[in-house]
Amino acid sequence: KRREKELRSNLCGQGSDRSSMATGANGNLVRYDDTWHIMDDANKAPAGSEVSLCRIDTRSSEYAPEGQPGAGPKAWWSKSWIPFNYRVVEVPSGDLLNPECDALVFGHLEPGSPERSDAMASPQRRLVVIDEKVHELYGDRVRSYFTARGVAHELLVLDTVEENKSIELTLEICKKMKKFNLDRRREPVIGIGGGVCLDVVGLAASMFRRRTPYIRVPTTALAYVDASVGAKNGCNFLGSKNRLGTYVPPVAALLDSSFFRTQGARDISNSLGEMCKMGIMKSEELLGLLEKHASRLIADRFQPQSKDDTVPSRVLQIAIETMLEELTPNLWEDCLDRLVDFGHGVGQCLEMDSLGLNVELMHGEAVATDMSFMTVLSNVLGHLSDSDRDRILGILHNCGLPTYHPVLTRDFFKVAMEDRIKNSLGMRLPLPVGMGKARMFNDVTDEQFEATFVLWESLCKHSTVSVAKSKAGAE
């Protein structure tokens, strides 16, 4: 009963400051005798009633015939606020698959909460969706973990690569959820893998019975700071990246950086693309750390060099916190002016168009290529100094990221920018205006883009990090 009441309370947004912004007025829905009632004066409700911040406003329909303002057709304006609460939880490196750590079973529940206490006193079951390559490396440890903790479990192993990121793959997960007979309130699905795995698991969970809780366990450095942090999930559709998807966050993202040890150097460099994005947009401290330590972060796979070495954890934590700062107040992207879109103006199209080529780009590499172009654009527009421009380009290069790509031609850019303008209702280009500082810009002219191309090519074409014939990643 307590849990049901809390779920109702969360659904209607009791006690939230945002509700007044979402509804424009106080709520007028009151629940007593197990029934909801429209009641404009909640003070008249019986003692012990539950008052919601949601509301229903009833008016005459604008299509009602004249002369029938009260008795004719009506219109109801339903105003609801649906909050999402989720945890992003780091565990000490190497602890997540240690059976002595309970994070994989209970880490999605607030420590000390009645829900966590109830769960710890009850039998547990888990469905785990795990990437094929991750399964080869960690599958036995995942099984041993749940066996040691007495958790009934099944593993669904899938080849979750970008080329397979489809609705068909998503439905395979839904089928398994149905066969597992999942309790959609108490048995969150666990996704273990990189960004593709976490995205399709999230989409499947958001569709199955309209919303089933799920947990993200990123095993790549890129997913650790990107896919695991926000609310979005999705799959590719008709050649477009993440064209199908929802805004339903996990109940938790559980983070363990020891997974990075089995990644290649190119994979780590790829993750630095998203970290550089947040540094360029919001954090000069993060940029400085990457500028100074990128080479050893790549070589050491973000593992500390001593017990007093806080650089790897500090880089990861700043990247996560700055991302959360931008995502949390705009979870459903009601505002399309988003600093986290830096590198994504044409970067996503660039990533998709390079698939299958001998110069195929990973996600962070495509983002970095876009960022290099947009950095030069800001310089051309007069918002970024030559020295800051060159410093940003140098940091990207030192992170092992490309700053130029042959697919990014003028013709490609024109089509990709048209797609950007259509889907974002304008250019809405986040551009750096200093180190760790950014602003949004619109209405860049064709002449300014052309000047950018000329300068960008002269600065980056012959000095970029090569991605040719290295799809498998360099060690």
pLDDT band of 383, cuts 50, 70, 90: very high
Whether pLDDT at 20 is above 70: no
How many whole angstroms separate alpha carbon 29 and alpha carbon 397?
57
Catalytic residue among 165, 176, 232, 282: 232
The answer to whether 232 is a known catalytic residue is yes
Check residue 71 and give its pLDDT.
Answer: 76
Q: Give me the sign of the Cα torsion angle 466, 472, 473, 475.
A: negative
Per residue in 95-126, is it b (16+ CB within 10 Å) or e — as a string? ebbbbebebbbbbbbeeeeeebeebeeeebeb
Whose structure tokens read 């970067």? 347
pLDDT band of 21, cuts 50, 70, 90: very low
pLDDT band of 469, cuts 50, 70, 90: low
Q: What is the CA radius of gyration of the chain?
A: 25
pLDDT in tens, 140-172: 999 999 999 999 999 999 999 999 999 999 999
Check residue 332 and give its pLDDT.
Answer: 83
Please give the structure tokens belonging to residue 318: 């700043």
End-to-end CA separation in angstroms for the chain: 55
Q: Give the up-direction half-sphere exposure of residue 398: CA atoms within 13 A in the CB hemisphere.
A: 18
Element housing 127 (H / E): strand 125-131
Give the contacts of 189 (CB within 8 A, at least 6 positions apart): 126, 127, 128, 129, 173, 177, 182, 201, 204, 205, 212, 213, 214, 215
If one counts every other C-beta atom within 10 angstroms of the C-beta of residue 321, the result is 15
Mean pLDDT of 358-381: 97
How many whole angstroms separate alpha carbon 7 and alpha carbon 3?
6
Strand order in the sheet with 152-158: 87-90, 252-255, 214-218, 189-193, 125-131, 152-158
Whether pLDDT at 192 is above 70: yes
Mean pLDDT of 16-27: 45
pLDDT in tens, 99-114: 999 999 999 999 999 9
The region that residue 206 occupies, defined by phi over 0 for left and psi between -120 and 50 for alpha, beta otherwise, is alpha
Check residue 6 and give its pLDDT.
Answer: 42
Whose structure tokens read 């014939």? 469
pTM of the model: 0.87
Whether pLDDT at 310 is above 90: yes
Per residue in 338-376, is it b (16+ CB within 10 Å) or e — as a string? bbbbbbbbbbbbbbbbbeeeebbbbbbbbbbbbbbbbbb
pLDDT in tens, 329-340: 888 888 899 999
Three-class secondary structure of residue 63 per DSSP = coil
Q: Are 367 and 347 in contact (CB under 8 A)?
A: yes
Please give the structure tokens belonging to residue 61: 């329909």
Mean pLDDT of 284-309: 97
Q: Percent of the chain scored above 90 by pLDDT?
A: 80
How deeply is 387 buried, as exposed, middle or buried, from its count of CB atoms within 10 A (0-12, 13-18, 19+)?
A: exposed
How many whole angstroms separate alpha carbon 361 and alpha carbon 354?
6
pLDDT in tens, 224-265: 999 889 899 999 999 888 899 999 999 999 999 999 999 999
Q: Which own/partner contact pairs does 42-45 have at CB distance under 8 Å and 24+ positions apart? A: none
pLDDT band of 370, cuts 50, 70, 90: very high
Check residue 472 and give its pLDDT.
Answer: 44
Q: Kindly report the average pLDDT of the chain as a whole number.
A: 91
Check residue 68 and give its pLDDT.
Answer: 67
Q: Are 131 and 162 in contact (CB under 8 A)?
A: no
How many whole angstroms separate alpha carbon 472 and alpha carbon 210?
37
Mean pLDDT of 34-40: 93
Whether pLDDT at 276 is above 80: yes
474 compared with 432, residue with greater pLDDT: 432
Whose structure tokens read 């551009």? 431
Please give the structure tokens belonging to residue 220: 């790549």
User: What are the phi and psi torsion angles at 420 (to 5°)?
Assistant: -60, -45
Please give the structure tokens belonging to residue 464: 């970029």
Whether pLDDT at 19 is above 70: no
